[in-house]
Structure 1
Amino acid sequence: MRFQDKVAIVTGAGQGIGESYARALAAEGARVVVAELNEAQGERVAKEIGDAALFVKVDVADPESTEAMAAAVMAEFGRVDHLVNNAAIFHSMRRDGLTTVPLDYLNRFLQVNMLGALHCTRAVVPHMTEGGSIVNQSSTAAWIGGGYYGLAKAGINSLTASLAAELGGRNIRVNGIAPGPTDTEATRSIVPKEYQEQMTNSLAIKRMGTPEDLAPTVLFLLSDEARWLTGQVVSVDGGQVVRL
């Protein structure tokens, strides 16, 4: 198993894509920290994974909360090897444009979807083992004019490159994954069915992705198989970007 006895934190792991990442890591031998703001969802996932999982409540937009998360992980496991910065606001997205979205909402959105990854990284990196790895959740929206969601994810891409350059001296690798249209409960709740069909038709592979389509790439990026790969954002999108 690639992650036997390693400790991996996955933020936003209480449902959807993050849950898929947490389950995939546990299946490969990792001790998984289900880091989630929603207690019911986080506890459910940790319970279903079993003894290999620990639920920790965290608000990634709050630096004090992320510091408490890191402290809880160290108290339980004594080490951190991997971090997946997946947490995001998506299901409650407004439909405003960049020039009309209320600033209080935009600020909270960017705190979670962009700065949350930085807060978690700052909290975890002092405890991370040499040779550790980080994967940041981006999106193809960063490249295709995706409004303020795209703005946040473009920031994630820049953050990934900057952190890779900064942390390489400690042999800590930082990469990103940019999913295309993915079929999750959150997507179904805010994207009209007809637009889901339009997105599917725009792909080279004519179906929306699933969380399980994404997890293998994340595990590869975290693993020693990618030991000389850092600062990259891998698009896993069914051919969305190449069809633009």
Structure 2
Amino acid sequence: MARLQDKVMIITGAAQGMGETHARLCLEQGAKVVLTDINSEKGEALATELGDNALFIKHDVTDEADWTHVVKQTEDKFGRIDVLVNNAGITTNKSILDTSVEEYRKTLEINQVSVFLGIKAVLPAMRRAEQGSIINISSINGLVGGAIGYTDSKFAVRGMTKAAALECAPHGIRVNSIHPGVIATPMIMQGDTKEAVEAFAKSIPLRRVAQPEEVSRMVVFLASDESSYSTGAEFIIDGGLTAQ
């Protein structure tokens, strides 16, 4: 039997990038996946390609009403919610002095507040079922310093994961965070950025950047019953970068 046979999952930011890779691998492992994103064109095309066990919903992850809609549509289509993957996020790379208050708040809204809203939205369904897995995609910048705003929000996701894990454990709901390092997404593996990434990879103990599938395999593990005794934990996928 597939590792995620008939599990119902919501994956945010799933129209492209790592979210798309998560969705593809989870479907391969037998899951029924609701893909959410603000990019309707790519999201709908991907869901159509993936077939009947995939559903796309346009979704602003910072909007509580949108979360209510996503939960209702998921339950209407598939009957329940077993797994939430809070994957949606944005990156920032400005100095403190160059970052406006509006930019800072936008980063926190998308990277941090959306995770809170997602957890809050799925908890009633998971508590009724007395089981569930919530997977929050943080970053190695939730463990070590980096750009202002991005780092702050990813540290917050790490802390929120632990707080939620303790609250949810008596209801059979697990909450964990994943902390990717440098991932070879199409966005960074092109042009001058690709050269910079390849140069940086030489400083990583494993001497390479990760492929998106390597993060997705961790998503599958945490979504599956194989990780039934893991909660409140940090799963680091960085080739040893933070071990130095």
Instruction: Specify if TM > 0.5.
Output: yes
Partner of 1:237: 238
Identical counterparts, % of pairs: 37
**Contact 1:63 / 1:119 at 8 angstroms: preserved in 2?**
yes
Question: How far apart are the structure 2 equivalents of 1:189 and 1:68?
Answer: 37
Provide the secondary structure at the position in 2 that maps to 1:185.
Answer: coil
Indicate the residue corresponding to 1:56 in structure 2. Answer: 57
Structure 1 residues 15-54: aligned runs within 5 Å: 15-54=16-55
For residue 88 of structure 1, what is the aligned residue in structure 2? 89
Shift of 1:193: 3.5
* Structure 2: 5+ residue stretches without partners: none
1:97-131 alpha-carbon deviations (Å, 9 max, x no partner): 23431011111111001111111111111112322
Question: RMSD of the alignment, in Å?
Answer: 1.6
Letter in 1 for 2:240: G
Offset at residue 194 of structure 1 (A): 4.2
Q: How does 1:93-108 map to 2 (within 5 A)?
A: 93=92, 95-108=93-106
CA contact (8 A) 2:23 2:35 kept: yes
- Structure 1 match to 2:132: 132
Give the corresponding residue for 2:75. Answer: 74
Report the counterpart of residue 173 of structure 1 in structure 2: 174
After TM superposition, the structure 1 stretch with the greater mean CA deviation from structure 2, 62-71 or 165-174, is 62-71
2:110 maps to 1:109: no
Structure 2: which amino acid aligns with 1:121?
A: I
Task: Give the C-alpha shift of residue 190 in structure 1.
Answer: 9.8
Shift of 1:185: 2.4
On the 8 A contact 1:181/1:199 being kept in 2, the answer is: no
CA distance in 2, matches of 1:40, 1:54: 13
CA distance in 2, matches of 1:223, 1:60: 24
Q: Is the 8 A contact 1:173 1:229 kept in 2?
A: yes
Deviations 1:125-181 (A, max 9, x none): 111232210100010012221122111110110011001001001000000110010
Query: In the alignment, what sits opposite 1:197?
Result: 198
How far off its partner does 1:191 sit?
Answer: 7.7
- CA distance in structure 1 between the partners assigned to 2:86 and 2:240 by the alignment: 24
1:96 Cα deviation after fit: 1.8
Change beyond 3 A, Cα 1:123–1:190: farther
- Structure 2 Cα separation of the partners of residues 224 and 99 of structure 1: 46
Matched positions, count: 240
Q: What is the one-letter code of the residue matched to 1:142?
A: G
